[in-house]
Structure 1
Amino acid sequence: MLKNQNSISTRYAWMSGLIFVLLLLAIKANSALLLKLDTGIIGIVQDSLPEFETTLMTLVSKIAEPSFAIVYAVIIAAILWFMRLRVDAIWTLATIGGGDVVAYIFKEIVQRARPRWNQIIPESGYSFPSGHTFGAVIIVFFILWFFVSQIRSTTIQKVSQIGLIIWVVLVMYSRIYLGAHYPSDVFGAFFLAVAWLAIARWLYKLLYNFVAKVVEPRSEGRHSQH
Protein backbone atom coordinates (compact mmCIF):
# COMPACT_ATOMS: atom_id res chain seq x y z
CA MET A 1 0.00 0.00 0.00
CA LEU A 2 2.69 2.48 1.02
CA LYS A 3 4.53 2.00 -2.26
CA ASN A 4 1.52 3.54 -4.05
CA GLN A 5 1.41 6.66 -1.86
CA ASN A 6 3.13 9.96 -2.55
CA SER A 7 6.20 10.44 -0.40
CA ILE A 8 7.42 13.63 1.26
CA SER A 9 9.02 15.76 -1.43
CA THR A 10 12.80 16.05 -1.41
CA ARG A 11 12.54 19.81 -1.02
CA TYR A 12 10.40 19.59 2.11
CA ALA A 13 12.60 16.84 3.52
CA TRP A 14 15.79 18.88 3.13
CA MET A 15 14.07 22.03 4.36
CA SER A 16 12.79 20.26 7.48
CA GLY A 17 16.21 18.78 8.18
CA LEU A 18 17.88 22.16 7.74
CA ILE A 19 15.45 23.95 10.07
CA PHE A 20 15.96 21.25 12.68
CA VAL A 21 19.74 21.56 12.49
CA LEU A 22 19.55 25.36 12.74
CA LEU A 23 17.37 25.11 15.84
CA LEU A 24 19.74 22.55 17.34
CA LEU A 25 22.76 24.78 16.72
CA ALA A 26 20.97 27.84 18.13
CA ILE A 27 20.08 25.95 21.30
CA LYS A 28 23.61 24.59 21.71
CA ALA A 29 24.95 28.12 21.27
CA ASN A 30 22.51 29.43 23.92
CA SER A 31 21.08 31.92 21.43
CA ALA A 32 19.64 34.89 23.31
CA LEU A 33 17.30 35.66 20.39
CA LEU A 34 15.85 32.14 20.37
CA LEU A 35 15.40 32.17 24.15
CA LYS A 36 13.63 35.53 23.90
CA LEU A 37 11.27 34.16 21.25
CA ASP A 38 10.66 31.01 23.28
CA THR A 39 9.88 32.81 26.51
CA GLY A 40 7.72 35.36 24.71
CA ILE A 41 5.58 32.64 23.12
CA ILE A 42 5.33 30.76 26.43
CA GLY A 43 4.15 33.97 28.10
CA ILE A 44 1.39 34.40 25.52
CA VAL A 45 0.29 30.75 25.67
CA GLN A 46 0.30 30.66 29.48
CA ASP A 47 -1.22 34.13 29.90
CA SER A 48 -4.33 32.57 31.43
CA LEU A 49 -4.75 29.06 32.74
CA PRO A 50 -8.50 28.36 33.05
CA GLU A 51 -9.36 25.03 34.65
CA PHE A 52 -11.15 23.66 31.59
CA GLU A 53 -8.28 24.40 29.21
CA THR A 54 -5.77 22.95 31.64
CA THR A 55 -7.79 19.74 31.89
CA LEU A 56 -8.12 19.51 28.10
CA MET A 57 -4.42 20.12 27.46
CA THR A 58 -3.50 17.57 30.12
CA LEU A 59 -5.72 14.99 28.42
CA VAL A 60 -4.24 15.75 25.00
CA SER A 61 -0.73 15.39 26.41
CA LYS A 62 -1.59 12.08 28.07
CA ILE A 63 -3.04 10.62 24.87
CA ALA A 64 0.08 11.69 22.97
CA GLU A 65 2.52 10.08 25.41
CA PRO A 66 5.55 8.68 23.49
CA SER A 67 4.92 5.25 25.02
CA PHE A 68 1.37 5.33 23.65
CA ALA A 69 2.73 6.25 20.21
CA ILE A 70 4.55 2.92 20.21
CA VAL A 71 1.30 1.16 21.12
CA TYR A 72 -0.53 2.97 18.31
CA ALA A 73 2.18 1.94 15.86
CA VAL A 74 1.95 -1.70 16.97
CA ILE A 75 -1.83 -1.62 16.44
CA ILE A 76 -1.38 -0.11 12.96
CA ALA A 77 1.28 -2.69 12.12
CA ALA A 78 -0.99 -5.52 13.32
CA ILE A 79 -3.80 -4.27 11.07
CA LEU A 80 -1.43 -4.07 8.11
CA TRP A 81 -0.08 -7.55 8.81
CA PHE A 82 -3.65 -8.89 8.96
CA MET A 83 -4.27 -7.19 5.60
CA ARG A 84 -1.21 -9.08 4.26
CA LEU A 85 0.75 -5.85 3.90
CA ARG A 86 3.65 -7.35 5.77
CA VAL A 87 6.41 -5.10 4.41
CA ASP A 88 4.36 -2.07 5.40
CA ALA A 89 3.80 -3.53 8.87
CA ILE A 90 7.51 -4.12 9.41
CA TRP A 91 8.32 -0.66 8.05
CA THR A 92 5.83 0.91 10.49
CA LEU A 93 7.51 -0.70 13.50
CA ALA A 94 11.01 0.04 12.21
CA THR A 95 10.11 3.68 11.56
CA ILE A 96 8.66 4.36 15.01
CA GLY A 97 11.43 2.40 16.73
CA GLY A 98 14.23 3.95 14.72
CA GLY A 99 12.69 7.39 15.09
CA ASP A 100 12.58 7.07 18.87
CA VAL A 101 16.27 6.15 18.86
CA VAL A 102 17.10 9.15 16.66
CA ALA A 103 15.10 11.54 18.87
CA TYR A 104 16.77 10.12 22.00
CA ILE A 105 20.24 10.60 20.51
CA PHE A 106 19.51 14.25 19.77
CA LYS A 107 18.16 14.74 23.29
CA GLU A 108 21.46 13.43 24.66
CA ILE A 109 23.48 15.58 22.27
CA VAL A 110 21.66 18.81 23.10
CA GLN A 111 20.87 18.10 26.79
CA ARG A 112 18.55 21.09 27.06
CA ALA A 113 16.91 21.59 30.43
CA ARG A 114 13.13 21.96 30.50
CA PRO A 115 11.45 25.31 31.22
CA ARG A 116 11.61 26.06 34.94
CA TRP A 117 8.46 28.09 35.43
CA ASN A 118 4.75 27.31 35.61
CA GLN A 119 5.20 23.61 34.89
CA ILE A 120 1.74 22.17 35.46
CA ILE A 121 2.80 18.56 34.99
CA PRO A 122 6.31 17.86 36.34
CA GLU A 123 8.52 16.38 33.61
CA SER A 124 11.92 14.76 33.78
CA GLY A 125 14.57 14.28 31.14
CA TYR A 126 15.81 16.67 28.50
CA SER A 127 13.62 19.05 26.56
CA PHE A 128 14.79 19.12 22.91
CA PRO A 129 13.19 17.69 20.83
CA SER A 130 9.69 17.04 22.16
CA GLY A 131 8.97 13.31 22.24
CA HIS A 132 5.21 13.90 22.33
CA THR A 133 5.30 16.01 19.16
CA PHE A 134 7.69 13.67 17.38
CA GLY A 135 5.49 10.63 18.06
CA ALA A 136 2.28 12.46 17.17
CA VAL A 137 3.61 13.53 13.77
CA ILE A 138 4.84 10.01 12.98
CA ILE A 139 1.51 8.40 13.91
CA VAL A 140 -0.51 11.01 12.01
CA PHE A 141 1.49 10.33 8.84
CA PHE A 142 0.92 6.59 9.31
CA ILE A 143 -2.83 7.20 9.52
CA LEU A 144 -2.79 9.49 6.49
CA TRP A 145 -0.79 7.12 4.31
CA PHE A 146 -2.37 3.83 5.30
CA PHE A 147 -5.99 4.70 6.01
CA VAL A 148 -7.12 8.23 5.06
CA SER A 149 -5.66 7.84 1.56
CA GLN A 150 -7.98 4.84 1.04
CA ILE A 151 -11.17 6.80 1.71
CA ARG A 152 -13.08 7.24 -1.52
CA SER A 153 -14.96 10.37 -0.52
CA THR A 154 -12.84 13.46 -1.17
CA THR A 155 -14.85 15.40 1.41
CA ILE A 156 -14.27 12.84 4.15
CA GLN A 157 -10.59 12.69 3.19
CA LYS A 158 -10.25 16.47 3.57
CA VAL A 159 -12.11 16.50 6.88
CA SER A 160 -9.91 13.67 8.16
CA GLN A 161 -6.76 15.48 7.07
CA ILE A 162 -7.86 18.70 8.77
CA GLY A 163 -8.75 16.79 11.95
CA LEU A 164 -5.32 15.13 12.06
CA ILE A 165 -3.57 18.46 11.49
CA ILE A 166 -5.57 19.99 14.34
CA TRP A 167 -4.54 17.08 16.56
CA VAL A 168 -0.83 17.68 15.92
CA VAL A 169 -1.28 21.40 16.62
CA LEU A 170 -3.09 20.57 19.88
CA VAL A 171 -0.27 18.28 20.96
CA MET A 172 2.33 20.94 20.21
CA TYR A 173 0.29 23.61 21.97
CA SER A 174 -0.35 21.40 25.00
CA ARG A 175 3.35 20.81 25.59
CA ILE A 176 4.01 24.55 25.67
CA TYR A 177 0.86 25.31 27.66
CA LEU A 178 1.74 22.75 30.33
CA GLY A 179 5.23 24.17 30.69
CA ALA A 180 6.90 20.95 29.56
CA HIS A 181 8.69 22.36 26.51
CA TYR A 182 9.92 25.51 24.85
CA PRO A 183 8.26 26.30 21.51
CA SER A 184 11.54 25.54 19.73
CA ASP A 185 11.39 22.03 21.24
CA VAL A 186 8.05 21.22 19.67
CA PHE A 187 8.87 22.83 16.32
CA GLY A 188 12.23 21.07 16.28
CA ALA A 189 10.46 17.75 16.90
CA PHE A 190 8.01 18.45 14.09
CA PHE A 191 10.74 19.10 11.54
CA LEU A 192 12.83 16.17 12.76
CA ALA A 193 9.82 13.87 12.35
CA VAL A 194 9.22 15.05 8.77
CA ALA A 195 12.89 14.58 7.88
CA TRP A 196 12.99 11.14 9.51
CA LEU A 197 9.84 10.02 7.68
CA ALA A 198 11.41 11.08 4.38
CA ILE A 199 14.51 8.99 5.19
CA ALA A 200 12.32 6.06 6.25
CA ARG A 201 10.36 6.23 2.99
CA TRP A 202 13.63 6.20 1.04
CA LEU A 203 14.75 3.10 2.96
CA TYR A 204 11.35 1.50 2.32
CA LYS A 205 11.79 1.90 -1.41
CA LEU A 206 15.41 0.78 -1.30
CA LEU A 207 14.78 -2.39 0.74
CA TYR A 208 11.25 -3.29 -0.34
CA ASN A 209 12.10 -6.20 -2.64
CA PHE A 210 14.55 -7.72 -0.16
CA VAL A 211 12.13 -7.56 2.77
CA ALA A 212 9.22 -8.78 0.63
CA LYS A 213 11.14 -11.91 -0.38
CA VAL A 214 11.72 -12.71 3.29
CA VAL A 215 8.25 -12.05 4.73
CA GLU A 216 6.14 -12.80 1.66
CA PRO A 217 8.00 -15.60 -0.15
CA ARG A 218 4.92 -16.77 -2.05
CA SER A 219 4.49 -13.27 -3.45
CA GLU A 220 7.97 -13.26 -5.04
CA GLY A 221 8.02 -11.52 -8.35
CA ARG A 222 5.24 -9.06 -7.71
CA HIS A 223 7.26 -6.56 -5.66
CA SER A 224 9.47 -5.12 -8.35
CA GLN A 225 7.33 -2.07 -9.03
CA HIS A 226 7.34 0.48 -6.25
Structure 2
Amino acid sequence: MNLKFHLIIAFFISFISIIGFGLVSLFITDQKIVHFDRTVIDHIQGMESTNLTLFMKFFTFIGSGQFTVILGLFILFFLYKVLRHRSELILFTAAVLGSAVLNGILKHFFHRMRPDFHRLIEIGGYSFPSGHAMNAFTVYSILSFLLWRHITSKWGRGVLIFGSIVMILAIGISRIYLGVHYPSDIIGGYFASGFWITTAILSFQIYKEKQYNKKHKRSKDVA
Protein backbone atom coordinates (compact mmCIF):
# COMPACT_ATOMS: atom_id res chain seq x y z
CA MET A 1 0.00 0.00 0.00
CA ASN A 2 1.37 3.40 -0.95
CA LEU A 3 1.74 6.45 1.24
CA LYS A 4 -1.30 8.17 -0.26
CA PHE A 5 -3.53 5.28 0.81
CA HIS A 6 -2.01 5.37 4.31
CA LEU A 7 -2.73 9.11 4.49
CA ILE A 8 -6.39 8.57 3.61
CA ILE A 9 -6.82 5.78 6.18
CA ALA A 10 -4.97 7.75 8.86
CA PHE A 11 -7.07 10.86 8.22
CA PHE A 12 -10.27 8.84 8.46
CA ILE A 13 -9.28 7.15 11.73
CA SER A 14 -8.01 10.44 13.21
CA PHE A 15 -11.23 12.19 12.23
CA ILE A 16 -13.41 9.49 13.80
CA SER A 17 -11.24 9.48 16.95
CA ILE A 18 -11.36 13.26 17.40
CA ILE A 19 -15.11 13.42 16.82
CA GLY A 20 -15.66 10.50 19.17
CA PHE A 21 -13.50 11.96 21.94
CA GLY A 22 -15.08 15.38 21.49
CA LEU A 23 -18.60 13.99 21.82
CA VAL A 24 -17.75 11.92 24.91
CA SER A 25 -16.05 14.88 26.62
CA LEU A 26 -18.99 17.13 25.72
CA PHE A 27 -21.50 14.66 27.16
CA ILE A 28 -19.42 14.40 30.33
CA THR A 29 -19.20 18.17 30.72
CA ASP A 30 -22.96 18.58 30.22
CA GLN A 31 -23.77 15.61 32.48
CA LYS A 32 -25.63 13.94 29.59
CA ILE A 33 -23.93 10.59 29.93
CA VAL A 34 -24.66 9.88 33.60
CA HIS A 35 -27.52 7.45 32.89
CA PHE A 36 -25.43 5.52 30.35
CA ASP A 37 -22.48 5.27 32.74
CA ARG A 38 -24.59 4.12 35.68
CA THR A 39 -26.51 1.58 33.60
CA VAL A 40 -23.33 -0.04 32.27
CA ILE A 41 -21.67 0.00 35.72
CA ASP A 42 -24.71 -1.66 37.33
CA HIS A 43 -24.76 -4.33 34.64
CA ILE A 44 -21.04 -5.14 34.83
CA GLN A 45 -20.77 -4.98 38.62
CA GLY A 46 -23.96 -7.03 38.87
CA MET A 47 -21.91 -10.05 37.74
CA GLU A 48 -19.56 -9.75 40.73
CA SER A 49 -18.09 -12.96 42.10
CA THR A 50 -14.87 -13.94 43.85
CA ASN A 51 -13.36 -15.63 40.79
CA LEU A 52 -14.41 -12.84 38.42
CA THR A 53 -12.88 -10.25 40.76
CA LEU A 54 -9.53 -12.10 40.68
CA PHE A 55 -9.83 -12.31 36.89
CA MET A 56 -10.49 -8.57 36.57
CA LYS A 57 -7.66 -7.68 38.96
CA PHE A 58 -5.34 -9.73 36.76
CA PHE A 59 -6.32 -7.78 33.66
CA THR A 60 -6.14 -4.44 35.45
CA PHE A 61 -2.58 -5.34 36.48
CA ILE A 62 -1.70 -6.15 32.86
CA GLY A 63 -2.90 -2.66 31.91
CA SER A 64 -0.95 -0.94 34.68
CA GLY A 65 2.04 1.30 34.14
CA GLN A 66 4.36 -1.15 35.92
CA PHE A 67 3.44 -4.05 33.66
CA THR A 68 3.57 -1.81 30.59
CA VAL A 69 7.18 -0.93 31.42
CA ILE A 70 8.11 -4.62 31.75
CA LEU A 71 6.28 -5.56 28.55
CA GLY A 72 7.78 -2.56 26.78
CA LEU A 73 11.33 -3.58 27.69
CA PHE A 74 10.69 -7.09 26.42
CA ILE A 75 9.27 -5.76 23.14
CA LEU A 76 12.22 -3.38 22.71
CA PHE A 77 14.63 -6.26 23.25
CA PHE A 78 12.69 -8.39 20.74
CA LEU A 79 12.69 -5.65 18.12
CA TYR A 80 16.39 -4.88 18.57
CA LYS A 81 17.90 -8.35 18.98
CA VAL A 82 15.52 -10.66 17.11
CA LEU A 83 13.93 -8.63 14.31
CA ARG A 84 16.82 -6.14 13.97
CA HIS A 85 14.33 -3.33 13.33
CA ARG A 86 15.95 -0.50 15.23
CA SER A 87 13.85 2.29 13.73
CA GLU A 88 10.77 0.60 15.14
CA LEU A 89 12.22 1.05 18.63
CA ILE A 90 11.63 4.78 18.20
CA LEU A 91 8.03 4.26 17.10
CA PHE A 92 7.17 1.99 20.01
CA THR A 93 8.89 4.17 22.62
CA ALA A 94 7.40 7.40 21.29
CA ALA A 95 3.93 5.88 21.07
CA VAL A 96 3.90 4.53 24.64
CA LEU A 97 5.54 7.57 26.27
CA GLY A 98 3.46 9.99 24.23
CA SER A 99 0.27 8.20 25.22
CA ALA A 100 1.18 8.52 28.91
CA VAL A 101 1.95 12.23 28.55
CA LEU A 102 -1.27 12.88 26.62
CA ASN A 103 -3.28 11.03 29.26
CA GLY A 104 -1.79 13.13 32.05
CA ILE A 105 -2.57 16.37 30.18
CA LEU A 106 -6.17 15.35 29.47
CA LYS A 107 -6.78 14.18 33.04
CA HIS A 108 -5.65 17.51 34.48
CA PHE A 109 -7.69 19.41 31.91
CA PHE A 110 -11.00 17.67 32.64
CA HIS A 111 -10.54 17.10 36.41
CA ARG A 112 -13.18 14.37 36.49
CA MET A 113 -13.43 12.57 39.81
CA ARG A 114 -13.57 8.79 39.92
CA PRO A 115 -16.87 6.98 40.60
CA ASP A 116 -17.58 6.11 44.23
CA PHE A 117 -20.52 3.71 43.85
CA HIS A 118 -18.87 0.39 44.66
CA ARG A 119 -15.09 0.20 44.56
CA LEU A 120 -13.29 -3.13 44.78
CA ILE A 121 -9.86 -1.46 44.78
CA GLU A 122 -8.67 1.97 45.84
CA ILE A 123 -6.78 4.32 43.55
CA GLY A 124 -6.19 8.06 43.38
CA GLY A 125 -6.00 10.58 40.56
CA TYR A 126 -8.53 11.83 38.06
CA SER A 127 -10.80 9.59 36.05
CA PHE A 128 -11.14 10.86 32.45
CA PRO A 129 -9.76 9.52 30.21
CA SER A 130 -8.70 6.14 31.55
CA GLY A 131 -4.95 5.66 31.63
CA HIS A 132 -5.36 1.88 31.54
CA ALA A 133 -7.57 2.12 28.45
CA MET A 134 -5.06 4.35 26.68
CA ASN A 135 -2.14 2.12 27.73
CA ALA A 136 -3.87 -1.00 26.46
CA PHE A 137 -5.00 0.53 23.17
CA THR A 138 -1.58 2.03 22.51
CA VAL A 139 0.56 -0.99 23.37
CA TYR A 140 -1.52 -3.66 21.66
CA SER A 141 -2.26 -1.53 18.59
CA ILE A 142 1.41 -0.73 18.07
CA LEU A 143 2.34 -4.35 18.75
CA SER A 144 -0.16 -5.53 16.13
CA PHE A 145 1.18 -2.99 13.62
CA LEU A 146 4.79 -4.06 14.15
CA LEU A 147 4.13 -7.81 14.09
CA TRP A 148 1.62 -7.81 11.22
CA ARG A 149 4.27 -7.67 8.50
CA HIS A 150 6.17 -10.60 10.05
CA ILE A 151 3.13 -12.90 10.07
CA THR A 152 2.32 -14.20 6.62
CA SER A 153 -0.64 -16.52 7.29
CA LYS A 154 -4.21 -15.24 7.54
CA TRP A 155 -4.73 -17.48 10.57
CA GLY A 156 -1.74 -15.97 12.37
CA ARG A 157 -2.82 -12.43 11.60
CA GLY A 158 -6.34 -13.23 12.73
CA VAL A 159 -5.04 -14.53 16.05
CA LEU A 160 -2.89 -11.40 16.46
CA ILE A 161 -5.80 -9.01 15.89
CA PHE A 162 -8.26 -11.06 17.95
CA GLY A 163 -5.82 -11.34 20.85
CA SER A 164 -5.14 -7.59 20.80
CA ILE A 165 -8.85 -6.74 20.76
CA VAL A 166 -9.53 -9.11 23.66
CA MET A 167 -6.74 -7.60 25.74
CA ILE A 168 -7.84 -4.01 25.03
CA LEU A 169 -11.49 -4.72 25.89
CA ALA A 170 -10.72 -6.90 28.92
CA ILE A 171 -8.46 -4.28 30.48
CA GLY A 172 -11.06 -1.55 29.90
CA ILE A 173 -13.92 -3.63 31.32
CA SER A 174 -11.82 -4.57 34.34
CA ARG A 175 -11.60 -0.90 35.33
CA ILE A 176 -15.39 -0.55 35.22
CA TYR A 177 -15.90 -3.79 37.14
CA LEU A 178 -13.47 -2.75 39.87
CA GLY A 179 -15.32 0.55 40.27
CA VAL A 180 -12.48 2.95 39.47
CA HIS A 181 -13.68 4.22 36.08
CA TYR A 182 -16.88 5.21 34.33
CA PRO A 183 -17.54 3.49 30.98
CA SER A 184 -17.21 6.91 29.32
CA ASP A 185 -13.66 7.13 30.76
CA ILE A 186 -12.79 3.92 28.95
CA ILE A 187 -14.42 4.95 25.66
CA GLY A 188 -12.76 8.37 25.83
CA GLY A 189 -9.41 6.70 26.46
CA TYR A 190 -9.82 4.49 23.40
CA PHE A 191 -10.65 7.48 21.20
CA ALA A 192 -7.75 9.57 22.54
CA SER A 193 -5.32 6.71 22.04
CA GLY A 194 -6.74 6.02 18.57
CA PHE A 195 -5.87 9.56 17.51
CA TRP A 196 -2.40 9.39 19.03
CA ILE A 197 -1.57 5.98 17.57
CA THR A 198 -2.71 7.04 14.11
CA THR A 199 -0.48 10.11 14.29
CA ALA A 200 2.52 8.10 15.49
CA ILE A 201 2.16 5.35 12.88
CA LEU A 202 1.59 7.84 10.06
CA SER A 203 4.69 9.81 11.06
CA PHE A 204 6.65 6.56 11.10
CA GLN A 205 5.37 5.57 7.66
CA ILE A 206 6.29 8.98 6.20
CA TYR A 207 9.77 8.66 7.72
CA LYS A 208 10.22 5.15 6.27
CA GLU A 209 9.00 6.33 2.87
CA LYS A 210 11.53 9.18 2.84
CA GLN A 211 14.32 6.82 3.90
CA TYR A 212 13.39 4.41 1.12
CA ASN A 213 13.30 7.18 -1.50
CA LYS A 214 16.71 8.48 -0.40
CA LYS A 215 18.19 4.99 -0.55
CA HIS A 216 16.59 4.35 -3.94
CA LYS A 217 17.90 7.68 -5.26
CA ARG A 218 21.44 6.93 -4.06
CA SER A 219 21.30 3.53 -5.77
CA LYS A 220 20.32 5.20 -9.05
CA ASP A 221 23.07 7.78 -8.70
CA VAL A 222 25.67 5.04 -8.12
CA ALA A 223 24.38 3.06 -11.09
TM range (shorter): 0.7 to 0.9
Which residue of 1 is the match for residue 73 of structure 2? 74
Counterpart position of 2:200: 200
The alpha-carbon distance between structure 1 residues 76 and 60, as it changes in their structure 2 partners (threshold 3 A), is same
**Range moving further from structure 2, 94-103 or 71-80:** 71-80
Structure 2 length normalisation: TM-score?
0.85
Alpha-carbon distance, 1:159 to partner: 2.4
Deviation at 1:187, TM superposition (A): 0.5
Partner of 1:91: 91
- Indicate the residue corresponding to 1:104 in structure 2: 104
| Residue identity matched to 2:49 | P
**1:72-221 superposed matches below 5 A:** 72-82=71-81, 83-208=83-208, 221=215
How far residue 209 of structure 1 moved from its aligned partner, in angstroms, is: 7.4
Question: 2:66 corresponds to which letter in structure 1?
Answer: S
CA deviation map 1:161-209 (0-9, x unaligned) = 2122112111111110000100000000011111101111232234457
Aligned position for 1:46: 45
Conserved 8 A contact 1:114-1:182: yes
Tell me, in whole angstroms, the C-alpha distance in 1 between the residues paired with 2:124 and 2:158. 38
Aligned identity (percent) is 27
Shift of 1:70: 3.1
TM-score by length of 1: 0.84
CA distance in 2, matches of 1:138, 1:208: 20
Unaligned runs of 5+ in 2: 219-223
CA distance change for structure 1 residues 118 and 105 in 2, over 3 Å: closer, same or farther? Answer: same
Gaps of 5+ in 1: 213-219
Deviation at 1:66, TM superposition (A): 2.5
Aligned counterparts of 1:91 and 1:166: Cα–Cα separation in 2: 23
CA 1:223–1:201 in 2, change beyond 3 Å: closer, same or farther?
farther
Counterparts of 1:50-61 in structure 2, within 5 Å, are 50-61=49-60
